[in-house]
């Protein structure tokens, strides 16, 4: 049973929570490789960026799906849903041009991920349990991504 935002019930199973939190593991591994001074530390930065960008883009897909399922979304909801993918690509461009990367891109991407549950709340399609999990995961992934960005100068 899928419950709406106001009915007080949850649509989240224990598996949804477990796999959600397990989604922090790739970023934790990237951070560990950098902190240990592992020979793959630059690859860990690139992988950490790629993972965070993929998840940020995925969030846009979640918003799109919620908008479609609601049956009452405005054009603005669909517009907001495509923004994460566009921002993720834009943050990748400095690397392709040989500019200062990945530190600044990781910092911006981490901050965007941390703030992304505000969009969930503004759209109003998600139930409370989902929003609570979104805050936990977004603060976790956003914080880990920012940590990678702060450590980037030690690697590059």
Which residues does the chain have with pLDDT short of 50? Answer: 1-8
- Domain assignment present for 67: yes
Give the pLDDT score at 8: 47
Residue 1 placed within a domain: no
Residue 9 maps to a domain? no
Structure tokens at 44: 């860990």
The first and second tokens of residue 93, run together, are 């461009």
Q: Quick check: is 10 in a domain?
A: no
DSSP conformational letter for 126: S
In whole angstroms, give the CA distance from residue 99 to residue 93.
Answer: 8
pTM, two decimal places: 0.90
Q: What is the pLDDT of residue 1?
A: 31
Q: Is residue 8 part of a domain?
A: no
3 lies in a domain? no
> What is the structure's pLDDT at 145?
98
Q: What is the count of structural domains for the chain?
A: 1
Domain of residue 39, residue span? 15-155
Report the distance separating Cα 58 and Cα 68, nearest Å.
15
Task: Evaluate whether residue 6 is within a structural domain.
Answer: no
């Amino acid at each position: 049973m899928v419950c709406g935002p106001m009915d007080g019930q949850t649509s989240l199973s224990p598996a949804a929570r477990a796999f959600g939190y397990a989604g922090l593991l790739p970023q934790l591994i990237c951070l560990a490789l950098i902190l240990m001074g592992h020979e793959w530390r630059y690859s860990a930065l690139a992988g950490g960026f790629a993972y965070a960008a993929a998840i940020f883009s995925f969030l846009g897909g979640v918003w799109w799906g919620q908008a479609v399922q609601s049956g009452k979304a405005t054009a603005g909801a669909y517009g907001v849903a495509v923004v994460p993918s566009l921002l993720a690509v834009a943050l990748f461009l400095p690397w392709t041009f040989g500019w200062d990367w990945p530190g600044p891109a990781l910092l911006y991407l981490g901050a965007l991920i941390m703030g992304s549950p505000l969009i969930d709340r503004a759209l109003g399609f998600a139930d409370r349990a989902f929003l609570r999990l979104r805050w936990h995961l977004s603060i976790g992934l956003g914080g880990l991504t920012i940590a990678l960005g702060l450590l980037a100068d030690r690697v590059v």
